[in-house]
Each structure stands twice: as structure tokens, then as C-alpha cells.
């Protein structure tokens, strides 16, 4: 731990221009309810974005600590390091996190080949993307369209916006290299369109913000957007009721709106034994029942791994 702190300090003075988030302190630290362990080491650090913000990392960490203590371990703490997919892998590469949750299979493959992560990848949960928009639905999309048809409809409607269109079709993009932004970009590419390319599509609203803010803005401005179930269920009800879900990802492995959350084990993990124990436990029956039992506003958020 002391070495880690020193290393961070060094980075702080020498590496500010690197662009990498060098000063990574856990965003939150969990103790499984063992408050007396307040000043013990954070023995495991898990990097991720959405699954940390939703609270899944917390419930998994608390349950793992409790199970470990029940099995005779001394109480310890687990930290959540806030990051997005690209950064998750950077956090593992630098050793700032031991485990990371990722959603992009191709990036995981590269990370294995580059020796950044262990070749064993743990399928932890299934999340779901949602296509949300204004109830007026100027593009005329619906849930029986496949995702490609739906994006083509969105594009055509937006392309025909003109000064007399009562409610123009617009799309809000996270534009931040998050898993959601990558998925949305892929869906445009799949219909042969690059709305962020030149000449720039004026209906394509690049709005870089945290997921809940971005979704709130899309709903308030009556724009379509891509989001996920956790973000939708985190909205204040006053905003939630103004939007409409036109299409929701299902558990089918072939559904383009399925979002697979996988746990990666960094080669620089502080304690590989403990990190692997967490990974094995979380994809086992106890961890999986924590995943499926996790609710937001009374609704189950994630499906377990298949």
C-alpha cells in the first residue's frame, strides 16, 4: 500500500500530461459492514463505470467480504475505481486496479494479447441497452423493428428535418468513448452512416456528460438516445415519465442491444490469489445470486451470466 501511494505521488508530479488518470483513488470503499476495519488496507480494487454507479460493485463487494469473514478471513475493504471501458483496461495496465468490468470483447482480446490481463475472462452479468426518445416519436420507430431498421428509420427521419417539421428528429450521443457511445457508433456504421463525420449532421447532438445527465438532457430536449436500464431506473420520476422506451435489449446472445459485463483480472493485481477468489466467487452461485437479486426502484437490473 505504501509503495502504491508513493507511486501515485510520483505520477502526480511527473505525469500530469500523460492524459492517463494517474491519481486514481477509489471513488468508494466498501467494508461489508465491518466498520472496525475502517483503517485496514483496501485489498482489492475494481475498476468500472456503470456497474459501480448502479451499486452492483458495492453489493458484490459487501457480500464477498461477508462470505470471506464467515470463512475465517479477517475483515478487509474493497475499493471501486470509477472508469469507462478504455480506462478500465488502462487501470489494469498501470496496476491501479486489480479487477475491471468491461463491455467490449475486442478490447478485452487485445488486452489479453498484450499481456495486460489474464486470459481467463469471467462473464459476470448481462445488462441491456435501451433506445429511448420522445413519446411524440417523430421518426415513427417501434419495438417490432429490428435495431438496424430502427436506426435506418431514425436516420431517414432526421435527414428530412426541415424548417416546417413540428418536432425534428434528433439524436443525442454520449460522444465519450463509453461502451454506450461505442455501441451507438456501431449501430450507425451498421447502416452505412457516420453522422459525426463531415459534412456534420446537425441533428446529431454530441453531449459529453455522465449517463444520468445525458439521458435527462435527451428526454428534456425530446431527442432520441441510447442508454441502459440502470441509467433509466436511476432517473427522478418527473423525468422518467417524459421519455419512452422504444426498444430494449433482451438476454438473447445475438441481440445487438445485449450488453455483456465481464470481469477482467489484471496481470499487475496486488494479490492475484484474492483477485481470482473474487472473480471465481462472483461467477459462482453466491455471486450470481447477488447479481440477480440486485434491484433498482424495485426492478431487477441485471440478468446473471448465461
Ligand X SMILES: *[C@@H]1O[C@H](CO)[C@@H](O)[C@H](O)[C@H]1NC(C)=O
Interacting residue with ligand X among 209, 233, 248, 258 (CB under 6 A) = 233
Q: Is-contact 266 258, C-beta < 8 A? A: no
- The whole-angstrom separation of Cα 256 and Cα 263 is 20
- The single-letter DSSP state of residue 17 is G
Site for ligand X, residues 142 to 201, rule: CB under 6 A: 142, 144-145, 160, 162, 164-165
* Cβ 21 to ligand X shortest distance, Å: 26
* Cβ 185 to ligand X shortest distance, Å: 25
Among residues 138 and 260, whose Cβ is nearest to ligand X?
Answer: 138
Among residues 64 and 87, whose Cβ is nearest to ligand X?
Answer: 64
- The whole-angstrom separation of Cα 147 and Cα 222 is 20
By DSSP bridging, strand 42-48 and strand 77-82 are parallel
Interacting residue with ligand X among 274, 290, 291, 305 (CB under 6 A) = 274
Q: Is-contact 177 183, C-beta < 8 A? A: no
Bridge partners for 204 per DSSP:
171
Is there binding between residue 220 and ligand X (CB under 6 A)? no
Interacting residue with ligand X among 10, 156, 213, 297 (CB under 6 A) = 297
* C-alpha separations of 166 from 134, 173, 224 in Å: 13, 22, 16
Q: Rounded to 5 degrees, what are φ and ψ at 18?
A: -65, -20
Q: Total residues contacting ligand X (rule CB under 6 A)?
A: 25
Contacts of 226 (CB under 8 A, 6+ apart): 129, 130, 131, 132, 174, 180, 183, 184, 187
- The whole-angstrom separation of Cα 49 and Cα 214 is 15
Window contacting ligand X (CB under 6 A); options: 5-13, 62-70, 127-135, 216-224:
62-70
Cell (9 digits) for 172:
443525442
Window contacting ligand X (CB under 6 A); options: 96-104, 176-184, 235-243, 255-263:
235-243
Is there binding between residue 30 and ligand X (CB under 6 A)? no
Among residues 68 and 93, whose Cβ is nearest to ligand X?
Answer: 68
Interacting residue with ligand X among 237, 238, 254, 306 (CB under 6 A) = 237
Contacts of 182 (CB under 8 A, 6+ apart): 85, 104
Is there binding between residue 294 and ligand X (CB under 6 A)? no
* Cβ 182 to ligand X shortest distance, Å: 25
Is there binding between residue 238 and ligand X (CB under 6 A)? no
Instruction: Note the residues at the interface with ligand X (CB under 6 A).
Output: 35, 64, 67-68, 71, 73, 142, 144-145, 160, 162, 164-165, 233, 235, 237, 240, 271, 273-274, 277, 281, 286, 297-298
Amino acid at each position: 500500500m505504501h509503495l502504491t501511494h508513493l507511486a501515485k505521488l510520483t505520477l502526480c508530479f511527473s505525469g500530469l500530461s500523460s492524459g492517463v488518470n494517474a491519481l486514481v483513488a477509489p471513488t468508494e470503499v466498501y467494508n461489508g459492514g465491518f466498520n472496525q476495519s475502517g483503517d485496514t488496507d483496501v485489498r482489492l480494487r475494481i475498476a468500472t463505470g456503470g456497474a459501480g454507479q448502479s451499486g452492483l460493485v458495492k453489493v458484490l463487494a459487501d457480500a464477498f467480504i461477508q462470505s470471506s469473514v464467515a470463512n475465517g478471513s479477517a475483515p478487509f475493504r474493497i475499493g471501486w475505481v470509477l472508469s469507462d471501458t478504455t480506462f478500465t483496461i488502462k487501470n489494469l495496465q498501470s496496476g491501479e486496479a486489480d479487477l475491471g468490468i468491461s463491455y467490449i470483447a475486442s478490447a478485452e482480446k487485445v488486452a489479453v494479447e498484450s499481456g495486460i490481463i489474464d486470459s481467463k475472462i469471467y462473464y459476470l452479468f448481462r445488462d441491456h441497452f435501451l433506445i429511448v426518445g420522445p413519446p411524440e416519436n417523430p421518426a415513427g420507430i417501434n419495438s417490432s423493428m429490428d435495431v438496424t431498421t430502427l436506426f435506418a428509420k431514425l436516420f431517414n427521419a432526421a435527414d428530412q428535418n426541415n424548417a416546417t417539421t413540428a418536432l425534428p428528429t434528433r439524436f443525442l450521443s454520449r460522444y465519450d468513448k463509453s461502451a454506450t457511445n461505442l455501441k451507438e457508433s456501431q449501430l450507425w456504421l451498421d447502416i452505412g452512416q457516420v453522422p459525426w463525420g463531415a459534412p456534420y449532421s446537425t441533428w446529431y447532438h454530441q453531449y459529453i456528460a455522465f449517463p444520468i445527465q445525458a439521458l435527462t438532457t435527451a428526454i428534456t430536449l425530446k431527442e432520441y438516445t441510447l442508454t441502459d436500464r440502470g441509467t433509466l431506473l436511476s432517473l427522478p420520476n418527473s423525468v422518467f415519465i417524459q421519455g419512452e422506451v422504444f426498444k430494449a435489449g433482451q438476454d438473447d446472445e445475438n441481440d445487438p442491444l445485449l450488453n455483456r459485463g465481464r470481469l477482467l483480472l489484471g496481470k499487475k493485481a496486488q494479490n492475484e490469489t484474492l483477485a481470482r477468489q473474487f472473480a471465481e466467487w462472483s461467477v459462482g452461485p453466491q455471486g450470481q445470486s447477488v447479481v440477480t437479486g440486485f434491484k433498482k426502484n424495485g426492478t431487477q437490473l441485471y440478468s446473471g451470466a448465461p
